Amino acid sequence: MKTGKSYYVECLDTNERTDWGDLDPVTKKMTGSYGDKYKGSIRPEESLITKENGFEKIHTLGVGESPLDYINRIDDEYFEIMNK
């Protein structure tokens, strides 16, 4: 980053989950609980990025928005402010 600032990213979900596990060919039901361990995101209440934990500027991106692109844009804005 141009500014030397640190940025933190967490992937939050909306309580909609894909079932992960093994499909039992006889019962056609999902077995196993891989989704509890390997879910790829966290629920908002599990987030460490909170005002109580000292984070002042918290941004939430929409579906399909790139966190890296967003970070690059705000880092460029901070860089311009720092160099005025």
CA-closest candidate to residue 75, choices 59, 63, 53: 59
Task: Give the global pTM.
Answer: 0.66
pLDDT, tens only, 2-58: 999 999 999 888 766 666 677 788 888 877 766 566 667 888 898 999 999 999 999
**pLDDT reported for residue 47:** 92
- Residue 1's pLDDT is 75
- Residue listed under structure tokens 């196993």: 32
User: Which pairing describes strands 22-23 and 30-31: parallel, antiparallel, or unpaired?
Assistant: antiparallel
Q: Model confidence over 53-83: pLDDT tens digits? A: 999 999 998 888 999 999 999 999 999 999 9
**Domain spans in the chain, listed from the N-terminal domain onward:** 22-82
Instruction: Give the pLDDT confidence score for residue 31 in this predicted structure.
Output: 76
At residue 41, the pLDDT reads: 80
